[in-house]
């Protein structure tokens, strides 16, 4: 992997929301990872920011090239089962910036923040078509928790992964 120079991970600001929405919808829906019926939720960045800690990765020009919603409490994670679990959702990296370790950096930041918040496990769900994400999670120590797999709507099966802290 090529080192990633001058990337910054920080909290998103409202000025970032349009870019995050465009990036998330185009990557998930345009990339065939989610249906058009999910586009409105993917585009609702303000709603996401109200229920989770929204993080962004900025390149050396200050442009947003990745984002994730970190869930340390509440039900936005939809996969956590107890107060000692954290989760993250809607991890996205600009296709033009993929392969630079941005997704891994965002996941590591989520793990670090979950650990600092006293969580004992990070639990996530991912679509069956998201094989690149699954490989990333496994490389970073997540393991499948098949008994927690779920179907939010008919025809959409989600796989659950967890990592102990």
Is residue 71, in this structure, part of any structural domain at all? yes
Backbone angles phi, psi at 32, to 5 degrees: 75, 15
Is residue 55, in this structure, part of any structural domain at all? yes
Q: Which helix (H) or strand (E) holds 24?
A: helix 17-28
pTM of the model: 0.93
Owning domain of residue 36: 8-120
Cβ neighbours around 47 below 10 Å, total: 13
In the DSSP assignment, the letter for residue 63 is -
Summarised one tens digit per residue, pLDDT across range 86-142 is: 999 999 999 999 999 999 999 999 999 999 999 999 999 999 999 999 999 999 999
- Number of structural domains in the chain: 1
Is residue 61, in this structure, part of any structural domain at all? yes
Which tokens go with 95? 């296709």
Q: Say which CATH number the domain at 45 has.
A: 3.40.630.30
Summarised one tens digit per residue, pLDDT across range 45-95 is: 999 999 999 999 999 899 999 999 999 998 787 889 999 999 999 999 999
Is residue 137, in this structure, part of any structural domain at all? no
């Amino acid at each position: 992997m090529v080192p990633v120079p001058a990337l910054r991970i920080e909290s998103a600001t409202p000025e970032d929301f349009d870019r995050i929405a465009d990036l998330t919808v185009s990557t998930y829906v345009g990339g065939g990872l989610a249906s058009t019926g999910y586009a409105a939720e993917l585009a609702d960045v303000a709603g996401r920011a109200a229920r989770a800690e929204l993080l962004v990765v900025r390149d050396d020009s200050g442009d947003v090239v990745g984002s994730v919603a970190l869930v340390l409490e509440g039900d936005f994670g939809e996969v956590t089962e107890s107060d000692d679990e954290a989760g993250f959702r809607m991890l996205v990296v600009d296709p033009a910036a993929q392969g630079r370790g941005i997704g891994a950096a965002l996941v590591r930041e989520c793990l670090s923040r979950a650990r600092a918040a006293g969580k004992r496990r990070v639990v996530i769900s991912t679509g069956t078509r998201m094989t690149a994400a699954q490989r990333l999670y496994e490389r970073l120590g997540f393991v499948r928790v098949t008994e927690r797999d779920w179907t939010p709507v008919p025809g959409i099966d989600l796989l659950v992964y967890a990592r102990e802290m």
